[in-house]
Amino acid sequence: MKLYLPLALVAAVAVAQDFDAQAEAIVAKMTPSQWIGQMAQANIGVILGSDGQLSVNAVTQCAKAGVGSFLNGAMPAAKWRAMITQIQAIYKANNAPPALYGLDSVHGANYVNDAILSPQQINKGATFNAKIVQDSAFITARDTSAGGVNWVFAPGLDVTNHKRWSRVYETFGEDPYLASELGIAAVNGIQSVPGVAAAVKHFIGYGATSSGDDRAPAYLDDYQLLNYHAPPFIAAIQSANALSVMASYVSVNGVPMVANSRLTNDLLRSDIGFNGLLLTDWEDIYNLNYVHKLVSNNQDAVAMSMSKSSVDMSMIPNDLSFIGYAQNLLNAGTIAASRYRASAKRIIKMKLQLGLFETPVPGANNVNLVGGASDRQASLELARESIVLLKNKDRVLPIRSNASVFVTGPAHDNIGYLCGGWTWEWQGVSGNAKFPGSQSVLSAFQSLVAANGGKVTSLQGVDINGGTTDSLADAKAKAGAADYTVIVVGETPYAEMVGNVPDAALPAGQLQYIRDIASTGTKVILVLVEGRPRLLNGVADVVHAVIDAMLPCHMGGQAIAEIILGLTNPSGRLSMTYPKDQTKDNMVTPYFQRKNGVCVLTGAACPAEWEFGTGLSYTTFSYTNFALSGNQLNTSAESLTASVVVTNTGTMAGKEAVLLFLSQGARTSGTPETKMLKKFTKVSLSPGQSTTVTFSIGFNDFAIYSGGIGSGLLKSAEAGAYYVGVKPETVCDANTIGPLCQSFNYGAVAATIPLSLFAKTTGKIVGATDWDTFMYAPPTGATPVNQQLDSE
């Protein structure tokens, strides 16, 4: 049997740091069987004995088979480190390349049991603060590497569509630009830790579930894929050099991702230019047999995936069967050795990029940093900036710190509920025991109010499913006796398919409990602890204040109490629309819908409880002197600057997320969106303080991906008027030019085009069922200006 000689090879070529050449040199010394082994990823159970301890024999067999990677597990950092060290030592003893080890560290190092967890990703989207997201991602990777783990399966770059989807909380929200910018920040944070790679996921269209159920198929045309779902991946790969990508579970237009040549080859490899490692999700190659029924056995599933996609590594995960199937296909001549070689090279290349041949167990200096005071502070700051104040009737908030407060509801004393899924366990946990040193909402109020001479009473009232746990009469009596009542409602933790629900509303028992308590006349502050926007069915109208805490996790109880008491000024904004009912149009329509969409033409059909970007503060901010540096761009190389003076006109220091949107009046190639977020930043201002915020606007900001997949990410922008508005609530078009809305022209100004000049083509080019639009032949003078761009 041919042996690996990786260490000697790396030593010989390390100076050059040409990872392609180094990987080529290593792969050239390997056999086809060894290439196949590198493509296998096994679950931790494969290498554990019946006693739950690492099995030396099992690891040795994996090393001899050349298994490239392992995943999963939950333990303290020191125990992780001891296990990974032993694995890598066995691999070295068997002359095998070091193993990759991956974890779903999606909100902090949530499988390193002594880590402090950050809020979930939906909270990070609500901060509109790229720096705080990057800092959090760095801590995540640092704590993960403290255990010797070198691969972080994050961030999630899915652009969420259906509000009922159970993975909303694993996204940055519904906006592609926000996901792109925060995705860059997260990848940079993760990969700034030596020896750690990010795996951006889930490529592509996973967030466009057609039914709202997890793993339901997506139906997307090229326009939607390229302009809504691809930008975060383009940004993470081209701007942040994400080293790996995880493929989506779903089929897009009837073709599962792990067998989708058009999306994994034409789009990912060719158009986007990704030459890194592409990993499947759990058991997903075999799902071609189990779920999609495209083949009748697992060997044929491997054959289909290998022949049609550019997948490099199979998350098998519970055995090593992939290796046998792939070897059989090689022996039969069904799959060429070159296919396996190409994937093995990409895998070896990432191991070289991580420095695993020299340092197979990264993070030696990070062990003592896990769970430190600075991590608690960082998690607290992120929670503070993410929580969104949605309603504040009669400025009931902030409340007096010496008031009497009744704290109630199913999540009032449960940190596990504040954290959601992927918290110590796949489906999360309940209770406070696994969060030593942290506070629930109740305990945070008890410490903060008691310190100021106030009084706190409590009662759960109902459970998370809406069932009665205590006497309603007792709860109403406590509410009636209190100055304020804080009701903390929400969802039980869940992950993936387990979180599928048929009804988007909060459980009826929770909603009725809110109404019952509100009927006492107490001032009710409703706190929503949820991973997606659960419908409120009118209860928002009967309470004085609404706070969307989402899933702030470890330090969320303290952050919630601080905001209600005015110790922290809220600054979060919704990163997705909060619907008011669950008609299909309302549940799947983003804020940037097409101008001919049903929710525009018949707006009453899609009532929003709160719009994208909603977020109140205890102070006020004025926007003045909004201006563009010019009103004409003639070529794609030119740019202009938008500037606005933001002033804190209130009496309390605060942070303001400044959002800028672009729109187009008309577009001959297809109906334009109502508006799209194109720039944002966050400023911190003391009372009376002003700052000038500036944004650069160029071709890349207003152009669209107009070519089909496989065309090399061709972007174009039509000549004509474009509108630039600041603040989410600003309506900006030709009729509203004013203090918060300006316009510029690009290219030759087109004359108004009579409807009679439109020539409909034979094919639809954009849209789900409700967004059908058609290609129009542009008149003379309105030809789109095309520009090939290297990055999004």
Euclidean distance between CA atoms 106 and 142, whole angstroms: 13
In the structure encoding, which two tokens stand for residue 508, read together?
């009826």
What are the angstrom distances between the C-alpha of 683 and each of 108, 474, 614, 647?
A: 25, 45, 17, 10
Say if residues 365 and 159 touch (Cβ distance below 8 Å).
no
Say if residues 388 and 615 touch (Cβ distance below 8 Å).
yes
For residue 114, the one-letter residue type is D
Tell me the residue length of the chain: 792
Residue 723 burial class via C-beta count within 10 angstroms: exposed 0-12, middle 13-18, buried 19 and up: buried
Euclidean distance between CA atoms 733 and 723, whole angstroms: 6
Peptide bond into 162 cis (omega under 30): no
Three-class SS state of 775: strand
Q: What is the DSSP secondary structure assignment for residue 647, as one 8-state letter?
A: E
**Secondary-structure percent of the chain, ordered helix, strand, coil, rounded to 5:** 35, 20, 45
Ordered alpha helix ranges (H), 157-268: 176-191, 222-224, 231-238, 261
Say if residues 668 and 753 touch (Cβ distance below 8 Å).
yes
In the structure encoding, which two tokens stand for residue 438, read together?
């942290």
Residue 690 burial class via C-beta count within 10 angstroms: exposed 0-12, middle 13-18, buried 19 and up: middle
Catalytic: 770? no
Three-class SS state of 757: helix
Angular region, 302: left φ>0, alpha ψ -120 to 50, beta rest: alpha
Euclidean distance between CA atoms 343 and 333, whole angstroms: 17
Residue 186 burial class via C-beta count within 10 angstroms: exposed 0-12, middle 13-18, buried 19 and up: buried
**Residue 745: CB atoms within 10 Å:** 16
**Residue 389: CB atoms within 10 Å:** 23
In the structure encoding, which two tokens stand for residue 752, read together?
């108004």
What are the angstrom distances between the C-alpha of 100 and each of 84, 277, 313, 351, 360?
A: 10, 12, 11, 7, 9
Which residue has tokens 């899609």? 606
Q: What is the DSSP secondary structure assignment for residue 39, as one 8-state letter?
A: T
Q: Where are the beta strands (DSSP E) in 491-633?
A: 523-529, 545-548, 578-579, 608-610, 621-628, 632-633
In the structure encoding, which two tokens stand for residue 307, read together?
């022949």
**Residue 104: CB atoms within 10 Å:** 21
The pairing of beta strand 484-490 with beta strand 404-408: parallel
**Nearest CA-CA partner of 98 in 364, 355, 345:** 355
Catalytic residue chosen out of the listed positions 281, 284, 312, 701:
281
Phi then psi dihedrals of residue 626, to 5 deg = -70, 130
- Give the per-residue SS3 of 510-537: HHHHHHHHHCCCCEEEEEEECCCCCECC
**Residue 740: CB atoms within 10 Å:** 18
Contacts for 734 with CB less than 8 Å, ≥ 6 apart: 665, 721, 723, 743
Q: How many helices (H) and strands (E) does the chain have?
A: 24, 31
Rounded to 5°, the CA angle 260-245-425 comes to 110
Residues taking part in catalysis = 281
